[in-house]
Amino acid sequence: MHGIGRRYWTLTALIVVAAAAILLWMGRVPICECGTVKLWHGVVMSAENSQHLSDWYTFSHVIHGFGFYGLAWVIGRRYPLGWRLAAAVVLESGWEVLENTDLIINRYREATIALDYYGDSVVNSVSDIGAMILGFVLASRLPIWLIVTMTVVMELGVLLAIRDNLTLNILMLLYPLEAVRQWQAGT
């Protein structure tokens, strides 16, 4: 696929499998404790958020892929595209592991409206990595103006739908603002 050979896809798959194994070793649930795997779960304030194949935060992971492609292009464009993809998958997998530690889970609970957040299921984390890969591949094939437009549309769409998005997620993790938290909670 577009400059990414079989060996890089194999390497990428091995990285994803390693991330899933680490998450299982950490005690993450393989699938939603509800016992089902849904293609989409759109209710943010529920125990099933971040437990299924996709949710509102999937869009953020596509945007991660856009960003990782841009970063890899800036600092490593002399390397093969497949190598840059594998590096992006290492970064995304590392985030998925870190995101599911008590440190980050507790930070989400303290600093954001995600009071009942208890981490992702392994299937959700693997799907998030897949969404990042999709974003990376799209960014490698589409014109930059379209990637920027897609980013803005996804950020605004998710913001309007759930009062959250990647930008607010980063802000609230790094520098929580009470006014933003109250707006997100609808108060």
Below-70 pLDDT ranges, the chain? 1-2, 113-115
Locate 161 and state its tokens: 């739908």
CA distance 115 to 108: 7
Supply the pLDDT for residue 185: 85
Contact 98, 27 (CB under 8 A): no
Angle between the 58-76 and 144-162 helix axes, to the nearest 10 degrees? 150
What ranges in 100-143 are assigned the alpha helix state H?
A: 102-111, 122-141
| pLDDT for res 32 | 95
Q: Is 182 exposed, middle or buried (0-12, 13-18, 19+ CB in 10 A)?
A: exposed
Which amino acid makes up residue 78? R
How confident is the model at residue 186, as a pLDDT?
85
**Which pLDDT does position 187 carry in this prediction?**
75
Residue 113 per-residue DSSP state: S
Q: What is the pTM of this model?
A: 0.95
Write down how long the chain is: 187
- Determine the pLDDT at residue 2: 60
Q: What is the pLDDT of residue 111?
A: 75
